[in-house]
């Protein structure tokens, strides 16, 4: 938490949204002394978010499986959310045809252990299995990553 002039901790001021409703801070990562955030990856742009999503896939609010979202299914509003929150905090269409309330790039343990959605696998032509496509040997070959570490 930020400190006041005397060094006492004070709560963060939460920004107000439309009609004065408070917006919840949802930034993933480490908070800095001035109340900002450093994302775990150090990335901030929508293009970088999409690049990670292509290989890591996403989790929904339920956090049960890894899902894919086609880049063309993201709108300009989604891209703003990626840059502001390093997540998409509004409904988005998944490759399997379902609509998720939000998607995020999961942490390393989820990327290594969660099953890929079979519907998203069917839609992308990747085999069903466990873990992010970049962590699966068969998927790496299909994605042209077999020579990259």
For the cut 90, the answer to whether the pLDDT of residue 31 exceeds it is no
Q: What is the DSSP letter of 48?
A: H
CB 78 within 8 A of CB 90: yes
- Please state the pTM of the whole predicted model: 0.70
Higher per-residue pLDDT: 5 or 69: 69
Residue 93's pLDDT is 97
Place of tokens 């939000």: 102
For residue 26, report the phi and psi dihedrals to the nearest 5 degrees.
Answer: -125, 15
For the cut 90, the answer to whether the pLDDT of residue 9 exceeds it is no
- Residues 127-146: what's their mean pLDDT? 92
For the cut 90, the answer to whether the pLDDT of residue 88 exceeds it is yes
40-80 residue pLDDT tens: 555 568 999 999 999 999 999 999 999 999 999 999 999 99
Question: Could you tell me the residue ranges of all domains in the chain?
Answer: 1-38, 46-142
In terms of Cβ atoms closer than 10 Å to its own Cβ (0-12, 13-18, 19+), residue 33 is exposed
Q: What is the DSSP letter of 100?
A: E
Q: Which residues, other chains included, contact 64 with Cβ-Cβ below 8 Å and sequence gap of 6+?
A: 114
Q: Is 15 helix (H, G, I), strand (E, B) or coil?
A: coil
């Amino acid at each position: 938490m930020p400190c006041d002039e005397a060094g006492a901790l004070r709560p963060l001021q939460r920004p107000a949204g439309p009609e004065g409703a408070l917006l919840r801070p949802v930034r993933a990562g480490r908070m800095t002394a001035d109340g900002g955030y450093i994302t775990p990856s150090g990335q901030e742009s929508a293009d970088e978010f999409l690049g990670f999503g292509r290989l890591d896939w996403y989790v929904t609010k339920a956090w049960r499986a890894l899902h894919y979202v086609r880049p063309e299914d993201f709108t300009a509003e989604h891209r703003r959310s990626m840059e502001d929150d390093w997540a998409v905090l509004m409904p988005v269409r998944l490759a399997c045809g379902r609509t998720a309330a939000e998607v995020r790039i999961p942490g390393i343990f989820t990327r290594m252990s969660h099953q890929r959605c079979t519907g998203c696998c069917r839609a992308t032509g990747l085999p069903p299995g466990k873990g992010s496509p970049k962590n699966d040997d068969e998927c790496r070959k299909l994605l042209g990553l077999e020579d990259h570490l």
